[in-house]
Amino acid sequence: MIWLDTKTQTQASERQARMWGTVWAETEGGGLAGRASGEGLYEGEHFWADAIKETHDDPVARLAMAKRHMPLPAAFREAAIALRAIIRAKKKANEDFEQELRELHRWASIQSIAGYDQLEVTPFAKINVLNLEPATIGWDQLTVLNQTDRKLMAARWPMPGRHTTGAVLYPKIGNDARALIERKRKADMARTMSQLDALLASDKAAPPQIRLPVHGAPRRTRGFLARLFGR
């Protein structure tokens, strides 16, 4: 399930666990090793940030792939790149691009609501009902947009009463998500300690060697976080 399909807190939490949840396994030496599940970071056999490069000449496919990997920050930026390409093509063909411009604004508005970790654990259905219209949030404070985007929006839409961000308009989204993350962190720690206690209580002669998980479980570790988050 992709983030855009999550409707309940249970779905969002389960999806987040499948992506970043730690899988523990006992090693041959009697230790306990953990790794992140990593589900949802790939397109087939390819890491998604590498796979999306192959859609350079197909902005429709690029947009669809970007949506599948939201709310990763790089996914919002890739969606913006794809929508700009579609807008340019429509402008050149003297076709209306209002729908694409509004979609560009909406993804930029959603990205501004909270950080990645907070969006990840929030069901998209909870985000989708928020009023993020240009008249409400404006466009000058949305970091996904560039100056060309803003000029297009200012030329086509009435000036809003103010320019702000989703985080300012709807702080409860981020606050609730941070509280949920903290509760989960404590529960995960308690579960991990329970597993360690069980292992230490076993009859194994050698003390366990613990390897903490590295989130993301990349197939290639060099530059993984940079490729994941688009930095």
Q: What is the pLDDT of residues 143-194, one digit of tens each?
A: 999 999 999 999 999 999 999 999 999 999 999 999 999 998 887 787 777 7
Per-residue pLDDT, 218: 44
Dihedral angle, C-alpha 131, 134, 139, 142, nearest 10 °: 20
- DSSP state, residue 2: -
Cα angle vertex 120, ends 87, 164, to 5°?
A: 55
Per-residue pLDDT, 37: 59
Cα distance between residue 111 and residue 77, in whole Å: 9
Instruction: Quote the tokens at residue 105.
Output: 């604004």
Cα distance between residue 3 and residue 7, in whole Å: 9
Please count the other Cβ atoms lying within 10 Å of the Cβ belonging to residue 49: 23
Per-residue pLDDT, 34: 52
Give the model confidence (pLDDT) of 3-42 as tens digits.
Answer: 999 999 999 989 988 887 655 556 667 665 555 556 778 8
For residues 188 and 143, is the Cβ–Cβ distance under 8 A?
no
pTM of the model: 0.78
Which residue(s) pair with 25 in the sheet? Answer: 33
Per-residue pLDDT, 185: 84
Domain range annotation of the chain: 7-229
